[in-house]
Amino acid sequence: MIFNVEYLKDILTTQRSILYEGIVLFGSLVHLKKYFLKYKQKLLIGLVCILLSNLGLVYIPLILKDAIEALEKNLSQETIIRYALIIVGTVIVSGFFRFLIRQTIIVMSRDIEYDLRQDFWAHIQKLPLRFFQNNSTGSIMSHATNDISAVRMFVGPSVMYSIDNGIRFIIVITIMLSLNTSLTLYALIPLPILSSIVYLVMKKVHSRYTRIQEKFAELTSKAQENFAGIRVIKSYVREEFEINEFRKHSQEYLDRKMDLVRLYALFMPVFSLIAGLSSIIVLWLGGKMVINNEMTLGTISAFFAYLVMLIWPMISFGWVANMIQQAEASMKRIMKIFNEPVDIANTEATDFIISKINGSIQFENVSFRYSENLPYVFENLSFKINHGETVAFIGSTGVGKTTLINLIPRMYDITGGRILIDGNDIKKIPLEILRRHIGMVPQENFLFSDTLANNIIYGVESNDEELVESVSDIAQLKKDVDSFPKGYETILGERGITLSGGQKQRSSLARALAINPSILILDDSFSAVDTHTEEEILKRLKEFMKQRTSIIISHRISTVKDSDKIFVLDKGRIAEEGNHEQLIKLNGIYTELYTKQLLEEELSEMA
């Protein structure tokens, strides 16, 4: 007995170490607490069902014990039928509650998966552009699919099997001790070995699964990049190169996955082998006890039945530990996203009384840089745009024109100074009001894989056919649409791949006009449009933008020459300011650009 007590101390010591590791793991999964609380009713019902199902299940060996002992005294058909019916009835009741376990806990895990994915998506939508510049699309997609699925496995099967097998283990051990204490203690001898194996394997699983998830993110990024750049790949005949590159990534992903599979494949048979030692011990010692009439045949039969019940809990402990490790690694990656601050949002300083924007804009000593370790794009930049004016920004590539206009709708927040709209600091204007009144046509035109009509009315609530046609007419898109087989109901390919560059630019312009903006920003929006079409668009825009503010960014002097005011940017400052005639007279940067473009046009005509 002293030997057994000392051995139990070893078991408890090992279990304490594993428990500590478990607490560390569950600490990283504490974010799931609010989801469990939301579905606590289903969880509690599931727990009750687990208890009732196990009570029925562990009662069966006792019935078997009584049946064998009854048959030893009175071997009759009636006795066999009576105990058989009792066992069948107990199995049916236990099975019914086991069905309810899945209808509660597993369904709960699917609900939590849905909520977690929705919360993840909602948070992603609120993050600033800086986040998307520093994280690949494939990596984000990996978090939204693979990682959340791994967490769901913890929330559902892992929780269910942990509680289920934990309760069964306790009940079974209690009954076995009541049947024969010494035999039970001997049967528990392999437990420290099992615990030690689990303890070591859990650590290895965690590191290997993290490497798998990291490689999966790279693989997803590579695939997404190839799909988005398929035109470039085909144009440069790089299909074979990309196939080989993808094969390399896939092979490394396979190698990392197989490392985990091999570990798990070795772990499970060893686990089963060690668990089987308990059966050998019971057969050897229990058999002697039966021979010596120290134990009945019914009792040893019950012992074997209980050992079978213990084998799965002991094996599943390793399986559950594996799921917890995977979920913990995945949850860390997901929480890295959740912990990303939503820098640009409404705050206590926001004035929700503001519901409309007219369009006067003022920069007061505005400074901006993308991060603290990068140089300033602008320092102490000041200018004013009056309501209803059409102004243009021009300058060499990389001077910061796009960065400047991205500050107005708060795609980025300024580092210093103030930006005022209608005399209000833009940080006081509700973000949704600010952006709803600004129509932006960016350099990179993005169209969704939807109908052309739905792309145009993307920013408005209702499907107004007249609105679609009117803004398409202004954008000089209507004449192209008339040649489409399905008109505005034509389905565009991914990123508008079925349209030409000019058609995509004009579709983006129509989308910006459809929201009826107070401020219209055109960022090099006519680069793929011929000069005649550009002139027609600008002529119609002049009428549309009366009493509205327009900001045009372009490399073409012909695009900006009719603007009320032109700002020439150079080295993070406004080098020149005025209308076309005034700037020509300055004989500075603008004049140099103008002269150069005139020369290029003459050379083009001569060619």
pLDDT digits (tens, 9 = 90+) for 436-469: 999 988 887 888 878 888 888 888 877 778 888 8
Q: Residue 176 above 90 pLDDT?
A: no
Domain ranges in the chain with CATH number 1.20.1560.10: 31-338
Question: Per-residue confidence at 18, pLDDT binned at 50, 70, 90?
Answer: very low
Q: Is 579 helix (H, G, I), strand (E, B) or coil?
A: coil
Burial label for 127, CB within 10 Å (0-12, 13-18, 19+), is middle
> Phi and psi of 553, rounded to 5°?
-115, 130
Q: What is the pLDDT of residue 15?
A: 46
What's the first-to-final CA gap in the chain, in angstroms?
105
489-537 per-position pLDDT tens digit = 888 866 667 777 788 888 888 888 988 899 999 988 877 777 778 888 8
Residue 273, Cβ neighbours under 10 Å: how many? 10
* Beta-sheet strand order (sheet of 438-441): 438-441, 519-523, 549-553, 390-394, 565-570, 573-578
45-68 per-position pLDDT tens digit = 999 999 999 898 889 888 888 888
| Residue bearing the bigger pLDDT, 496 or 175 | 175
Phi-psi region of 579 (alpha: psi -120 to 50; beta: other; left: phi over 0): beta
Global pTM reads 0.73
Nearest Cα residue to 42 out of 129, 126, 103: 103
In this structure, whether the domain defined by 31-338 belongs to CATH 1.20.1560.10 is answered with yes
Domain ranges in the chain with CATH number 3.40.50.300: 357-437+521-526+548-607, 440-516
CA 285/CA 180 separation, integer angstroms: 11
For residue 493 the two structure tokens come to 């390919």
- Region 357-437+521-526+548-607: CATH code: 3.40.50.300
CA 517/CA 544 separation, integer angstroms: 10
Long-range contacts of 427-433 (CB under 8 A, 24+ apart): 427/347, 427/349, 427/350, 428/349, 428/350, 428/351, 428/354, 429/350, 429/351, 429/354, 429/357, 430/346, 430/350, 430/351, 430/352, 430/354, 431/344, 431/345, 431/346, 431/350, 433/354, 433/355, 433/356, 433/357
In degrees, rounded to 5, the angle at the alpha carbon of residue 394 between the alpha carbons of residues 390 and 399 is 135
Q: What is the pLDDT of residue 481?
A: 83
Percent of the chain residues past pLDDT 90, beyond the cut: 14
232-268 per-position pLDDT tens digit = 787 777 888 888 988 988 999 899 888 888 877 777 7
Fold of 440-516: Rossmann fold (3.40.50)
Q: What is the pLDDT of residue 338?
A: 87
Strand 361-368 to strand 424-425: parallel, antiparallel, or no bridges (unpaired)?
A: unpaired
